[in-house]
Structure 1
Amino acid sequence: MSVFDDLAGQDAAIAVLTRAAEASRTGTAGMTHSWLFTGPPGSGRSTAATAFAAALQCTGDEVGCGECEGCTLVLAGSHPDVETLASEVTTISVASVRELVSRAQATPTLGAWRVLIVKEADRMLERTTNVLLKAIEEPPPRTVWILCTPSPRDVLTTIRSRCRGLNLVIPTAEKVAELLVRRDGIDPERALIAARAAQSHVGAAKALATDPEARERREQNLRGAYGVRTTGDAVIAAKALVDRAEAQAKSTGSDRGEREEAELRRTLGLTPDERVPPQMQGQFKAIADAAKKRETRQKRDALDRALIDLLSFYRDVLIVQLNAGTDLVNMDFVSEIGEIADSLTAPRTIEILDQISLARERISANVAPLLAVEAMMVSLRR
């Protein structure tokens, strides 16, 4: 067993991190105090960061043994010297980064290092990144910073130049399927189909393999796009896709908001049906605002996942049109892909791919999701 077992297809990155963890024990060259982990969504940036933190805290004979107290505590998310900042909203706030920088000054209490992980560092605005700059430039002794982001360009040059870069690659579908079979006990055939449909995104592949609702959403989104022949069809399909994303976001986040409000009522001595006094309403409003921001983030993520599925669908159409001989991503939609490939030209398919990418950019730039998706769906008419 190793802390790196869940990193599918990342042999080169694992070798670098293992050498760095070994150097951290001996004090030899190879260990760096500031890291920038990059790679496309689903490549395992956060998993790699947690695994590296475990390897640094490992006390076993072999670095990253996965069995000692240090490894197990980090992997369980309960090691006192490993802290993770993850954004549940659209941006990481200045206050949360300042708090993390302040805690970074403390010396390790249980392990050999104090490890600070910032997931999705690309969600920091420039003023937020500047708060982090000095902490990364001159970290306290026995402190390690790990920033995770899709691309090095997603952070300021000043941050990038002070971190050691580690790039994770997209694993093959076969590697992801092997992980799902070994770790989650999923049927090999189902695991491979899910890994291909998720384009090797480990989290999405697991959801498709184990969650019937996730499979149903993907199928409805693809069939909705397949059925677009008129402008009316496009408007209906766009509304349905956005509604599914909203329903997914609400189902994911509503329970947490309700639990937080119930806990606050209990703390303040209020019964479930008791009217909130005016002097306490600000606390309940803060919970509601946070829940709304989380829902916005989850809705955008769900929409983006749906658009990525559409990109893969029309990528398959283009492969068939060009007779490229490459394996299709959506093996369960072969007949639909063939029909669309016969009804469109390759240049037209490329235009559609561009329109789907444009819709993703518009949504990330705060364009109303329904307007962006409607404009995209209209381009799918055939």
Structure 2
Amino acid sequence: MSVWDAVVGQERAVAVLQRAVRRQHERSGLAHAWLVTGPPGSGRSVAARAFAAALQCPEDGCGRCHDCREALAGSHPDVTLLATDEMQLRKDVVVDLIRRAAVAPTRGRWVVVVVEDADRLNDMTANMLLREVEEPPPHTVWVLCAPFPEDLLPTIRSRCRVVTLGVPRAGAVADVLVARHGISPGEAAWAAAASQGHIGVARRLALDPDARRRRREVLQTPSRAVGVPGAVQAAQELRDIATEESTAAVEAAQEEQNAEWLRMMGVATPEELPRQVRTQWRELQESHKRQARRSATDGLDRALLDLLSLYRDVLVVQAGSSVPLVNADMRADVEGLARRSSPADVLRVCDTITTTRRRLTQNAALPLALEGMTVQLGEST
């Protein structure tokens, strides 16, 4: 067993990180700033945590010792793991990270700071972090994670050692589902293909019938987008389906956080809170709103990726290719779309979906963006 076992299908990237861990004992030393990139589901955060654990481990990542277990769990005193449920990393959060990075290690070799959502830095917080990445304390290692190098300021990128992860092979994802979750090989293969290499999504599709139902409903959006009224209705239904799962999960977690916070204050309801802590309560509720917005955005983005996989399959059929379909269980629907449209139509639809994904992160008017997309889907296919 090793800390690297959880990093699925990323042999090349793991080899780079393992070499770096070994070099910390040599005169060549270790780079103090790293940028781990890769598409959603590639395992950026898993690789970063494994790297942090290996740097603290006496055996360079055995996976069994106290240091490894604590680092992976996020409880090691010299490893800070930051992930956010909000659209942007706030200034006070980054200031706290910088303070932690400046403190000498208490037990391990290094102070390792892992920022799992570095793409959520805005210009101000990114420039704050830049100063730390440029001249970190000799005992500090920064590990930033983002989908693409371009998600960070060029000045930060230029000071980081970049490790790029790819999309895991469907076979590797299926093997994980079978070995870790006891899923049948057939279901695991389908979920791995449908998730497009996203291990977390694959696991959810394999284990949750509601997740499979929602995905199928998303893929039926083109058939509902008939005429402008149908397209408007399809846009609303797509939004509802995509946010159903994420909203339920976020609301449950927030209710638990609220209840715990009130218990800590010794009251049963917000109305009973002392006046001096009501500001903190309001700040918590504002944080919940930001978390809900990001969760809804992430759910919609996943739905749009599923739609892209459908039109990818349409292009495969139109080209007469023998490449396996992502949505093999919907072959009849795929072939119907292929007959009713031309490759040029399908490429225009793919461009529209991609543009809509980009607008999700640009504070665009979401209903209008989705309606424009579904109108294009209906007209083209």
What TM-score, normalized to structure 1? 0.95
SS at match of 2:34: strand
Q: Check whether the contact 1:33–1:145 (CA below 8 A) recurs between aligned residues.
A: yes
> Any gaps of 5 or more consecutive residues in structure 1?
none
Question: Counterpart in 1 of 2:6?
Answer: 6
Superposed CA offset, 1:40-98 (max 9, x none)? 111111110001111111123xx311111111111222111110111211011121111
Evaluate the alpha carbon distance shift between residue 93 and residue 273 of structure 1 in structure 2; reply closer, same or farther with a 3 A threshold.
Answer: closer
Question: Counterpart in 1 of 2:40?
Answer: 41
Question: Counterpart in 1 of 2:154?
Answer: 157
Superposed CA offset, 1:17-37 (max 9, x none)? 11111111x233262111011
Equivalent residue in structure 1 for 2:244, among 227, 247, 267:
247
Distance 1:377 1:128 in 2: 36
> Any gaps of 5 or more consecutive residues in structure 2?
none
Question: Counterpart in 2 of 1:140?
Answer: 137
The alignment status of 1:309 with 2:326, answered yes or no, reads no
Question: Counterpart in 2 of 1:206?
Answer: 203
Cα RMSD after superposing both structures: 1.6
Letter in 2 for 1:261: N
Matches within 5 A, 1:1-382: 1-24=1-24, 26-29=25-28, 31-60=30-59, 63-272=60-269, 275-276=272-273, 279-381=276-378, 382=381
Q: Check whether the contact 2:115–2:143 (CA below 8 A) recurs between aligned residues.
A: yes
Letter in 2 for 1:5: D
Q: Check whether the contact 1:242–1:369 (CA below 8 A) recurs between aligned residues.
A: no
SS at match of 1:104: helix
Distance 2:90 2:277 in 1: 24
Indicate the percent of aligned positions where both proteins have the same amino acid. 44
Distance 1:120 1:149 in 2: 6
Distance 2:263 2:64 in 1: 39
Letter in 2 for 1:49: A
Q: Check whether the contact 1:197–1:330 (CA below 8 A) recurs between aligned residues.
A: yes
Superposed displacement of residue 274, structure 1 = 5.0
Superposed displacement of residue 364, structure 1 = 1.5
Distance 1:78 1:268 in 2: 25
Superposed CA offset, 1:154-193 (max 9, x none)? 1111111111111111121111111222233322211111
Distance 1:222 1:230 in 2: 18
Distance 2:77 2:294 in 1: 28
Q: Check whether the contact 1:6–1:179 (CA below 8 A) recurs between aligned residues.
A: no
Superposed displacement of residue 314, structure 1 = 0.6
What TM-score, normalized to structure 2? 0.95
Distance 2:355 2:44 in 1: 25
Distance 1:275 1:99 in 2: 31
Distance 2:274 2:65 in 1: 50
Q: Check whether the contact 1:19–1:30 (CA below 8 A) recurs between aligned residues.
A: no
SS at match of 1:366: coil
Distance 1:87 1:273 in 2: 25
Distance 1:325 1:379 in 2: 28
Letter in 2 for 1:37: V
SS at match of 2:80: strand
Q: Check whether the contact 1:8–1:176 (CA below 8 A) recurs between aligned residues.
A: yes
